[in-house]
């Protein structure tokens, strides 16, 4: 999943799950994009439908109108766990581990 088709005019939000501690500022600053799970960790909003999966490789698409808020969320995250990959930038990472498969060689 490269997310190329959705990249025009949008940005992609990436989360470092090992840094995130569920402080919840991101969901407050991006109410249309993120909710919180029962333990306070960010969850993509479903907009009434099924929740999109937060792709490890492509990140979560952020609508153009929410990009300034997303930048603020990245800056304000107390754990610096968020990264915003904006239009035109190289995709941050495509690993060998496919969906749900832990590569062990």
Partner 1 sequence: MTTPTASRPAPAPPAALLDPRGRTRPADLPAHLHRFGPAPAAPAEAVLAAARAAGLRGCGGAWRPTAAKLEAVAAASRRRGRRAVAVANAAEGEPWSTKDAALLRTHPHLVLEGLQLAGRAVDADRLLVHGHHGPALEAVAAAARERDGADPLPVRLVTVPRAYVSGQETAVARAVEGGPALPRPRPRPDGVPLAGGAPVLVQNVETLARLALAVRGLAQPGPLVTVCAPDLPPTARELRPGATVSDALAAVDPGLPGRAGAVLVGGCAGTWLPAAACLDRTLSPEGLAPVGASPGAGVLLVAPRGTCVLATTATAVRHLADSSAGQCGPCWRGLPALADLVEDLAAGRLRDGGLAALHRAVGLVDGRGACGHPDGAARTVASALSAVPDDVPAHLHGSCTEGGRP
Partner 2 sequence: MDLLTSAPGWVLARATGAVLLVLLTAVTALGLATASGLRAAGVPRFAVQLLHRNAALLAVVLLATHVALVVVDPYVDVGPLAAVVPLASGYAPVAVGLGALALDLLLAVVVTSLLRVRLGLRAWRAVHLLAYAAWPLALVHGLAAGTDGTAPWMLAVDAACVVLLTAALAVRLRARAERAAALPPSRTTQPAARPTSPVGAPR
Interacting residues toward partner 2 by CB under 8 A:
19, 21-25, 28-29, 40, 74-76, 78-80
Residue 29's binding partner, choosing from partner 1, partner 2, none, with beta-carbon cut-off 5 to 8 A by kind? partner 2
The residues pairing with 86 across neighbouring beta strands, listed in sequence order, are 11
Residue 80's binding partner, choosing from partner 1, partner 2, none, with beta-carbon cut-off 5 to 8 A by kind? partner 2
Shorter beta-carbon distance to partner 1: residue 20 or 29: 20
31-44 exposure pattern, b = at least 16 Cβ within 10 A, e = fewer:
eebbeeeeeebbeb
Report the Cα–Cα distance between both ends of the chain, in Å, rounded.
Answer: 22
Residue with tokens 């907009």: 47
Q: Which two tokens stand for residue 60?
A: 């979560």
Using CB under 8 A, list all residues that contact partner 1: 14, 16-22, 37-41, 43, 51, 53-57, 90-105
Residue 1's binding partner, choosing from partner 2, partner 1, none, with beta-carbon cut-off 5 to 8 A by kind? none
């Amino acid at each position: 999943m490269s997310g190329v088709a959705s990249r025009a005019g949008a940005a992609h939000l990436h989360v470092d799950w090992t840094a995130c501690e569920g402080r919840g500022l991101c969901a407050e600053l991006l109410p249309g994009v993120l909710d919180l799970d029962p333990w306070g960790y960010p969850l993509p909003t479903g907009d009434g439908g099924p929740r999109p999966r937060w792709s490890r490789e492509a990140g979560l698409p952020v609508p153009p109108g929410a990009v300034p808020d997303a930048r603020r969320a990245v800056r304000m995250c107390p754990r610096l766990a968020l990264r915003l990959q904006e239009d035109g930038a190289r995709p941050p990472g495509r690993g060998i581990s496919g969906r749900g498969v832990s590569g062990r060689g």
